[in-house]
Amino acid sequence: MLLNRYFVRLAFLLVVVSAALGGMTMHCGLTGWANRSRPPEQLPGITLEETIRDAQDVITAHYAATTSPEALTKAAIQGMLHILDPHSNFFDNKEFQEMRTEQHSRFYGIGVSIARRHDRVYILATIPNTPADRAGLRAGDAILKVNGESATEWTSRQVLEKVRGERGEPVSITVERLGVPKPLTFSIVRDAVPLPSIRTAFMVQPGVGYIALSGGFNTTTEDEMRRALNELTAQGMQSLVLDLRGNPGGLLPQAVSVADMFLRRDQKIVAVRGRRAYGGEEAREYRAKNTAPFEKPVVVLIDQHSASASEIVAGALQDHDRALIVGEPSFGKGLVQRVFELPFGAGLTLTTAKYYTPSGRCIQRSYAGGLLYAYYKHQTTESAPSGEAASTDTGRTVYGGGGITPDILVKPETFTTLQRKLSDAAFAFSRHLAAGLVPGLVNYRIERTEHQRQLRDGDFPITDKVLAAFREFLKHDAQFAALESAVTPNVEFIKRQIRQHLATAAYGAEAGFRVQLAADPQLQRAIAAVPQAVELAQRAWLSDRWRNK
């Protein structure tokens, strides 16, 4: 009952907060339900908290299924907030602490990347210098049990929920490892696992640096970005491809700091416009303060999962003609959330303002339909512009009201259903290859993951002998036998998949990611667009000099 009262009080508090911030008129819409459990003479003095509790009692007593009052109250709070917009949210104690932890670029667990393949959940990679890495877990290990519970039918999410936990607490992981006759059990003590913003940074080709800033904007993003720029510059970088694909956003100050690295002093980065009521600011502008910005040409990659803080960076660089934007239209999340800490360790994010790019474009796309599924899933990736037109510093036309539209539209590589099945088969074959179990190819055996080593062009060649062995593997595995005829038309795809899994097992997730990037159509188009970015940077520099005369 204590937990029940906790949720009721939170619901009551949220209603009051929402009424104060939104200026809405509150009324007791559940009085009709309360009549069934309270004598009429008590109705005039009924409180909102009592009404909520009465409604819970009626539902708990009469609903056909079993539903906890806590779940009912949490759903009611979320429903109220989602009437406002898709991004205002309530977090219970556990969720709020997880959000806070991830903002500090870490979480507590063991440090593995996992996914469910055709039959079980597998470890795809271990993160260097984490408990899992130190304990000896490997890419390709199939997870059989967690803390003694069978995990063979679990989803990836279920495994993650069991593996994560309090720092310093042990967790038992039982795995199947090919080449080892019996399952292996590891007792691992949970610890902080880093969540860096930058996934990888390297010279993608001579003179062209590549930085994948795909992990969100957290407290370490600015430092990571400066370090990556300095390291690549020392390696001879003359132009940069900044990859913001899949970046969901994060902390506004970090987005401002990243954009500041590329813009000249006093250039506008973003405007935040809200309401003056209740102590808020009607408008606030963030401007660059850097006196020595990075001035080499830049190409920025975005996709439909680039949102919020990543759109601030892309929009600022596009509006000032500081970068050429390549990829798909971004998500269009331009609502600003303020974080409120609530009693009992809970939290609330409430939309208080909107983001606008330097040219005045509103980043936020429409959510007038009110359906969360439609808002999050039914996105358009077409090139047709929408919203009000604006101009960049050199007079190029850009559009607002639906995210950032790329200067060069390039669709991503997509997998067919058949290719997804071939991908599962390639993963299964790679496990056998890395375990040294494929006759005649024992030289592909991988003893351990060496995270410090860099992948070279000649590592793990997928020769005709390897492909022949893959065909034999398919023939002798009942679940994959029907795929043998699909090998020839998909041979390049299969070769890339096998090499990616081997590189990951040998050198870690970053090495496998580089194999994947080698055939990425959006990255290849971004590299090809570098000369255009050079010309754009020159025009922007001349335009800036002309304005400042």
Report the distance separating Cα 317 and Cα 269, nearest Å: 8
Report the distance separating Cα 90 and Cα 74, nearest Å: 8
Report the distance separating Cα 242 and Cα 212, nearest Å: 6
Alpha carbon of 430 to those of 100, 438, 497: distances in Å?
38, 9, 9
Report the distance separating Cα 482 and Cα 68, nearest Å: 48
Residue 506: strand pairing partners? none
Answer yes or no: 359 catalytic. no
Beta-strand pair 283-287/268-274:
antiparallel
Answer yes or no: 464 catalytic. no
Task: For helices 252-260 and 221-234, give the axis angle rounded to 10 degrees.
Answer: 20
Quick one: which H or E segment has residue 323?
strand 323-327
DSSP sequence for 345-362: G-EEEEEEEEEE-TT--B
Quick one: which H or E segment has residue 341?
strand 335-341
Handedness of CA 35, 41, 44, 47 (dihedral sign): negative
Answer yes or no: 243 catalytic. no
Quick one: which H or E segment has residue 93?
helix 93-103
Report the distance separating Cα 164 and Cα 160, nearest Å: 6
> What is the residue whose two structure tokens read 């104690």?
93
Neighbours of 261 (CB within 10 A): 16
Question: Could you say which DSSP state residue 265 is in?
Answer: T
Question: Could you say which DSSP state residue 435 is in?
Answer: T
Indicate the SS3 state at residue 285: strand
| C-alpha gyration radius of the chain | 27
Q: Which of 74, 296, 333, 495 is catalytic?
A: 333
Question: In this structure, are residues 468 and 394 in contact, taking their beta carbons and an 8 Å threshold?
Answer: no
Report the distance separating Cα 385 and Cα 376, nearest Å: 19
Question: In this structure, are residues 343 and 17 in contact, taking their beta carbons and an 8 Å threshold?
Answer: no
Q: Which of 260, 303, 319, 393 is catalytic?
A: 319
Alpha carbon of 155 to those of 114, 163, 435: distances in Å?
10, 13, 25
Handedness of CA 310, 314, 319, 321 (dihedral sign): positive
Quick one: which H or E segment has residue 496?
helix 491-507
Question: Residue 257: phi, psi to the nearest 5?
Answer: -65, -40
Q: In this structure, what is the dihedral angle of CA atoms 385, 388, 389, 392, given to the nearest 10 degrees?
A: -110
Question: In this structure, are residues 533 and 464 in contact, taking their beta carbons and an 8 Å threshold?
Answer: no
Report the distance separating Cα 42 and Cα 67, nearest Å: 28
Q: Which of 18, 88, 214, 308 is catalytic?
A: 308
Active site residues per annotation? 308, 319, 333
